[in-house]
Structure 1
Amino acid sequence: MRSRLLSYLTAFFLLASSIAPAYAQVPMAPAADTTKKYANPSGIPAPVKKPIFKSKLFKAVAIPAVLITYGAITAQGDAGVNRDARTFVQKQFRPVSTTFDNTFIFLPYLELAAVAVAGVESRNDRINTLLIIAKGEAIMLASTFAVKYLANETRPNGADNLSFPSGHTSQAFLAASIVHTEFRDKSQWYGIGAYTIATSVAALRMINDKHWQSDVVAGAGFGILSAHLAYLSHRNRWGRKSIGRDIGMTPAYFGNGASGVSISWRPKK
């Protein structure tokens, strides 16, 4: 009986000695830090500040700033890259009718209207889109013509001193940027078509010897920047409800041999 008891005690001490080191290796939990428990009593985590290159403002001005800066640096009149570009254009192309320059600047807006009438959902409703266009036009005209008078750059053909930046190019790229923003969620091809038209306007201004290369590059920057600032500052969305989506066109006969098209419009609630 005694030997059995000694055996039990020996086994117990051996087991206890094997378990004790395992418990000794478990680290003690550190005491909770209560020094800042009243720093945020509501328990709402502080907002994480985004890097500046991810902010909306940086994305809005980055590309236009590069274009405008390049145009300003190279705006040297008949010298440098301006002279080289003008020489190349004059060797490759002949001047064309200026009516194309004056007409093409509004073609992106015509594309915008055509796509909207076709029933493609845009980013904003009709009223808000018109407000953005009006705001973008105001920003573009004010900035472009202010810089024109301050820069006092002579045109290649010597017509006047309002060469830098190109107002036609600014107008075309403003309209193209609005088309791209309104329909980029549907298809990138709408924006590609609009920017192709705007680039054609810039090329025509150089072909017709109305602007230097620096003028059209900076003009593109001013147009894009105006559109981005118009969207960035736009707040009057009125719930973003659809207005006038139901538009239909049907052939019509008005009598006395007169025929035409009947347009029906029904606003949605």
Structure 2
Amino acid sequence: MLKSLLFRLVLVISLGSATLPAVAQVPLATPADTTLNKYQTPAGAAKKAWYKGKLVRASLVPALLITYGAITAQGNAGINRETRTFVRQQFRPVSTRFDDALLLAPYAELGLVALAGVESRSDRINTLLVIAKAEAIMLASVFAVKSLSGETRPNGSDNLSFPSGHTAQAFLAASIVHTEFRDKSQWYGVGAYTIATSVAALRMINDKHWQSDVVAGAGFGILSAHLAYLTHRNRWGRQPRLLRETSFSPTYVPGGGMGLGLVWRPRR
């Protein structure tokens, strides 16, 4: 009796296990190492076309402004004279230094916003480095073109009309304000560019520049700021390269005395 019962139990277990579907063994996927792969270019990813690069995107608008200014210069088209006539009809001949006062107003905005506690895109040291580089690019390019073009001012005072240096300076500063605070609010840039546009308008109202001069000047200013950012190696939040490669340590001088050791590791 017991043997018959055990035989039946084994038979039931065997038949039941035969009817159950086999469960596939699925290996667990190994999570990707995001630390190592975060900055790697995915395999097979297509490279961006040259016209989608940072340099092209940064220089497109300034190049259009400079090209328009060069094409519509005094000797090439009558639109300058037509615009000058329109401006003189709308505004009485004036001689004001208000455009000189507004020249660096965007930089004043930059300082006031920073003092108010608004975090800029780059730290103060790097901001000053970018400003210095942009100013050097702008001054060198603007005055070189002024000397080569020999464009006479509308009031006939000299032959340094094209492009407008005041306008280039104002738009350079406005472009830096826009770049530093655009992640916080676009209105900072709108305010800075409004000031720069006012400088350009006043240069024409004061009969110091043709419209082609101020349009090209805006292009030179914006382009100088963009080139300064594109060529800046000490990116936001990082120490300047000289500080990263320099270390100080206290040292003991034989004979009694303390000193300070300097170690500098130059890199190529």
RMSD between aligned residues: 1.6
The alpha carbon displacement at 1:96 in A equals: 3.7
Instruction: Name the counterpart of 2:228.
Output: 230
Structure 2: which amino acid aligns with 1:135?
A: K
Instruction: Name the counterpart of 1:143.
Output: 141
Inter-partner Cα distance in structure 2 for 1:238 and 1:61? 22
Instruction: Name the counterpart of 2:88.
Output: 90
Deviations 1:98-146 (A, max 9, x none): 3211111100000000000000000000000000000000000000000
The alpha carbon displacement at 1:45 in A equals: 2.5
Structure 2: which amino acid aligns with 1:85?
A: T
Structure 1: which amino acid aligns with 2:231?
A: S
Structure 2: which amino acid aligns with 1:119?
A: G
SS in 2 for 1:98: coil
Inter-partner Cα distance in structure 2 for 1:158 and 1:169? 19
Inter-partner Cα distance in structure 2 for 1:238 and 1:114? 20
Instruction: Name the counterpart of 1:106.
Output: 104
- 8 Å CA contact 2:74–2:210 kept in 1: the answer is no
1:204-223 correspondence to structure 2 within 5 Å:
204-223=202-221
- 8 Å CA contact 1:169–1:198 kept in 2: the answer is yes
Deviations 1:237-266 (A, max 9, x none): 37447xxxxxxxxxxxxxxxxxxxxxxxxx
Inter-partner Cα distance in structure 2 for 1:160 and 1:203? 20
Inter-partner Cα distance in structure 2 for 1:177 and 1:139? 14
Cα separation, partners in 2 of 1:95 and 1:190, compared to 1, 3 Å = farther
Instruction: Name the counterpart of 2:52.
Output: 54
Inter-partner Cα distance in structure 1 for 2:237 and 2:185? 24
Query: 5+ unaligned residues in a row in structure 1: which ranges?
Result: 1-43, 242-269
The alpha carbon displacement at 1:97 in A equals: 4.1
Structure 2: which amino acid aligns with 1:130?
A: L
Inter-partner Cα distance in structure 1 for 2:157 and 2:76? 14
The alpha carbon displacement at 1:94 in A equals: 2.2
Inter-partner Cα distance in structure 2 for 1:84 and 1:71? 15
Query: 5+ unaligned residues in a row in structure 2: which ranges?
Result: 1-41, 240-268
Structure 1: which amino acid aligns with 2:126?
A: N
Structure 2: which amino acid aligns with 1:201?
A: V
The alpha carbon displacement at 1:46 in A equals: 5.1
Inter-partner Cα distance in structure 2 for 1:78 and 1:57? 30
- 8 Å CA contact 1:170–1:224 kept in 2: the answer is yes
Structure 2: which amino acid aligns with 1:56?
A: K
Inter-partner Cα distance in structure 2 for 1:161 and 1:169? 17
Structure 2: which amino acid aligns with 1:94?
A: R
Deviations 1:22-76 (A, max 9, x none): xxxxxxxxxxxxxxxxxxxxxx835521022321001110000000000000002
Inter-partner Cα distance in structure 1 for 2:133 and 2:46? 32
1:39-78 correspondence to structure 2 within 5 Å:
45=43, 48-77=46-75
Structure 2: which amino acid aligns with 1:106?
A: L
Q: How many residues align?
A: 198
Structure 1: which amino acid aligns with 2:176?
A: I
The alpha carbon displacement at 1:236 in A equals: 1.6
Deviations 1:141-183 (A, max 9, x none): 0000000000000000000000000000000000000000000
Cα separation, partners in 2 of 1:129 and 1:52, compared to 1, 3 Å = same
Instruction: Name the counterpart of 1:188.
Output: 186
- 8 Å CA contact 2:104–2:170 kept in 1: the answer is yes
